[in-house]
Amino acid sequence: MNSSSNSNSLQASPNKPCVAVIGGGPAGLMAAEVIARGGVRVAVYDAMPSVGRKFLMAGKGGMNITHAEAFDIFLTRYGARRDRIEPLLRAFPPDAMRAWIHNLGIATFVGTSNRVFPADMKAAPLLRAWLHRLRESGVQFHARHRWCGWDEHGALRFATPDGEHAVNADALVLALGGGSWPQLGSDGAWVPLLAQRGIDIAPLRPANCGFDVAWSAHFRQRFSGEPLKSVAATFGDVRKLGECVITEHGIEGGLIYALSAVLRDEIERNGHATLRLDLLPDWSLQRVQNEVAHPRGARSLSSHLHSRLGLHGVKANLLREALTTEQMHDPELLALTIKALPLNLIAPRPLSEAISTAGGVTFEALNAKLMLKAAPGIFCAGEMLDWEAPTGGYLLSACFASGHAAGKGVLEWFSPPAEDARQ
């Protein structure tokens, strides 16, 4: 990675190695911290006017930084890529992450669901303290620098408000995010840049996303934006309790995100997925059957469902989405539908709306230090790698851990152990 560069660029030196980190999210910043702590010069480049924008967005509803469940259970949250993520998390586990936050002067606490939060529930104070420490350690920051690949000499190309800049560096960490929330910087524009160099990249797909449902016009207009509380969702042998939200296009929210990976994969295989909603998860089927069959006299069915089962509003109208008028008056079918309402999901919402991204640079393209096998000296970290996880602190934990691993990998690249780390 050597070529001439202008006076504003990070200058490579034969005596003092320097590293470029592209991407100012958690993975990139953690890589920069590890590298700087190792005594190596490092500069962070980001396309946005400031770093950590998606990190700040994630903290708007309460900064869920990691999870305090037993570590062996924690590891199961990474699905098919657990074997690749586990070594990274073992090197920088949730306890180490909490200790790192405490060292920034930010207290944390464990919520009732074992989710870990900063004491003030905010991301901004944590980010400010972190950036202060990084600057104090000598890390340089270059905002509004959009990476455009390499020039003919192998230098990094950046589009900036002042024109294109070329940058030399002795090593490179790419932490460019996935393709979700492009307005915050993660737009997936890096995919063709790496693909042109023969890097194996799994297609980017939405993760922790909502899904499209063919609602009737009445239901869409009346209930879009309505929360659906105290329900259970079942797909296959997986059952989850929680809440979700009816949208103009379909359904989204925490309960749906928890099942989004398997639902998305099912839609890719078969063109649709049938999710079952239990509208009364605390009631047995027998109790529901008894209440539905209870004589209602002159009351309407709507009044009967409201008074006997507490079903009204969005839940009652979901039943009318699933059943015809004739079927609504079949007590046995109605009871079964209340306990297992079929919801036909026809497509995941677009990647740009998803909370996170599946797909990315495959682990098979990387060595154990997260260095590209086909491009020595270039490391990858964060959401641009081919893995996914549910919300609940798992996403951030793996991003931090992968940045930590990439930073360690860079240091070993410069000072390999007895066995050459460059192999």
Give 267-319 as a DSSP string. HHHHS-EEEEEES-TTS-HHHHHHHHHS--TTS-HHHHHHHHH---HHHHHHH
Same domain, residue pair 34 and 164: yes
Q: In what order do the strands lie in the sheet with 66-67?
A: 66-67, 115-118, 108-110
Domain boundary among 331, 348, 365: 348
**How far apart are the C-alpha atoms of 248 and 103, rounded to whole Å?**
44
Domain membership of residue 13 (yes or no) is: no
378 vs 57, 201, 352, CA distance in Å?
Answer: 28, 15, 27
Give the chain's length: 423
**Strand ranges inside 4-56, DSSP E:** 18-22, 41-45
Both 137 and 178 in one domain: the answer is yes
pLDDT of residue 368: 96
Q: Are residues 333 and 409 in the same domain?
A: no
Strand, coil or helix: 201: strand
SS3 132: helix
Does the residue 292 lie in any domain? yes
Return d(Cα 366, Cα 65) in angstroms, integer. Answer: 27
Determine, yes or no, domain membership for 130: yes
Same domain? For 181 and 231 the reply is no
Intervals of the chain under pLDDT 70 = 1-15, 417-423
In our burial notation (b when 16+ CB lie closer than 10 A, e otherwise), range 238-271 reads eebebebbbbebbbbbebbbbbbbebbebbeeee
According to the model, what pLDDT value does residue 2 have?
39
Q: Are strands 41-45 and 18-22 parallel, antiparallel or unpaired?
A: parallel
Range of the domain at 128: 18-207+356-414
Domain-located, residue 331: yes
- The burial class, CB within 10 Å (0-12 / 13-18 / 19+), for 325 is exposed
Q: How many domains does the chain have?
A: 2
Q: Are residues 383 and 319 in the same domain?
A: no
Specify whether the CB–CB gap between 228 and 360 falls below 8 A. no
What is the CATH classification number for the domain harbouring 127? Answer: 3.50.50.60
Distance CA 233, CA 278 (A): 6
**Pick from 323, 348, 373: which residue ends a domain?**
348
